[in-house]
Amino acid sequence: MEQQKKVMLSGIQPSGDLHLGNYLGPLRHWPEMIEEFDCYFFMADLHTITVRQNPADIRRRTLTQIAQYIACGLDPEKCVLFVQSHVPAHTQLAWVLDCFTMFGELSRMTQFKDKSAKNAENINAGLFTYPCLMAADILIYQPDFVPVGEDQKQHVEICRDVAVRFNGIYGDVFKVPEPYIAKVGARIMSLNAPETKMSKSLPEGCVFLMEKPEDIMRKFKRAVTDSDTERCVRYDPQAKPGVSNLIQIHAAATGKSYEVIEAEFEGKGYGAFKPAVGEAVVECLRPIREETERLLADKTYLEQVYRTGAERAAYVAGKTLRKVYKKVGFLPQ
């Protein structure tokens, strides 16, 4: 009998253009998974409106993100690619999960604390219950694994807690998924502030996937290195956060080990190292940018991809939602 494939799911919000942190953290690993697992990858557009957005930007970024997913190697024939808002079962399940998630649990979420500190004038209910929608995104496909960057681990943990709580009351409805966090690249730091993670909200320290090679080189040449007297290329995140981040980026972009990189730049200093990392990144991103541009010129193809994806996703999501509705006692239609 053919063994059933394990299921994997992940998404990224189209709230900013995709950057090197998104790529070297989770996205780069997704294509390896599509052969081995049944994979669902989506554009988490519903999540973006917890912060005020320009509507035209959401549309443009969502479409670009689909093209980028494909350009990074996610073959739409081999995995399910879709837009979150095209599958209403996510929000339907989210409401149910809202009622099984505690105020105290949500108050402890670091992302909520960070984002509400940054947007003090718009601490809306969606920002607070965001983890319930994320739990619904996940649980509705019954995945075994959720590949994300380290900063999302807490959200996957609350999702597991809610699933266990729900299963404890109604029986085994949800599979309890594991977060899956790659070691190299799990946390790419900002190029000009290596103590904070690379993020679109700090654009000078952030390299975007669609950025021109000359802009990428400029950002790497200006990258903050450390003020220690040693000035050698050595991986030591405590003493040398800036250089260690660059080593990590080089390693993730080229597949070389930290030791090989250290040996390659022994005695060469930061002046030679920074442009070399820039070049490695430019070469790593070039095929992705070119393929994304090619795909964006073919809107009909992209539309067909996300329509088919939404149909396939809705079929699976509908099954879980019907089971949940029945368990909680809603009268069947």
**Which amino acid is present at 276?**
A
Question: Hey, what are 307's tokens?
Answer: 């329509």
Q: Which is nearer to ligand ATP, 96 or 249 (CB)?
A: 249
User: Taken in order 320, 325, 331, 333, is the CA torsion positive or negative?
Assistant: negative
Kindly name the residue from 153, 175, 200, 256 that is annotated as catalytic.
200
Q: Which residues contact 167 (CB under 8 A, 6 or more apart)?
A: 173, 174, 176
200 is catalytic: yes
Other CB atoms within a 10 A radius of the CB of residue 183 amount to 6
Residue 94 interacts, among ligand ATP, ligand LTN, none and using kind-specific CB cut-offs from 5 to 8 Å, with: none
- 19 strand-pairing partners: 208
Contact flags string 85-124 toward ligand LTN, x per CB under 6 A: ----------------------------------------
How far apart, in whole angstroms, are the C-alpha atoms of residue 285 and residue 98?
39
DSSP secondary structure code for residue 176 in this structure: -
User: How many C-beta neighbours within 10 Å does residue 161 have?
Assistant: 16
11 near ligand LTN, judged by CB under 6 A: yes
What's the token pair of residue 146? 């959720």
Q: How many residues bind ligand LTN (CB under 6 A)?
A: 14
Among 7, 8, 12, 209, binds ligand LTN (CB under 6 A): 12
Does 177 participate in binding ligand LTN (rule CB under 6 A)? no
> Binding ligand ATP by CB under 6 A: which of 7, 9, 26, 265?
26
Residues 167-186 that bind ligand ATP (CB under 6 A): 186
134-156 in b/e form (b: 16+ CB < 10 A) is bbbbbbbbbbbbbbbbbbbebbb
With beta carbons less than 8 A apart as the criterion, state whether 84 and 46 touch.
Answer: yes
226 binds, among ligand LTN, ligand ATP, none (CB under 5 to 8 A by kind): none
Question: With respect to ligand LTN, which residue has the nearer C-beta, 38 or 233?
Answer: 38
Q: Which residues bind ligand ATP (CB under 6 A)?
A: 12-13, 15-16, 21-22, 25-26, 148-149, 151-152, 186-188, 197-201
Residues that bind ligand LTN (CB under 6 A): 9-13, 44, 47, 134, 137-138, 146, 148, 152, 155
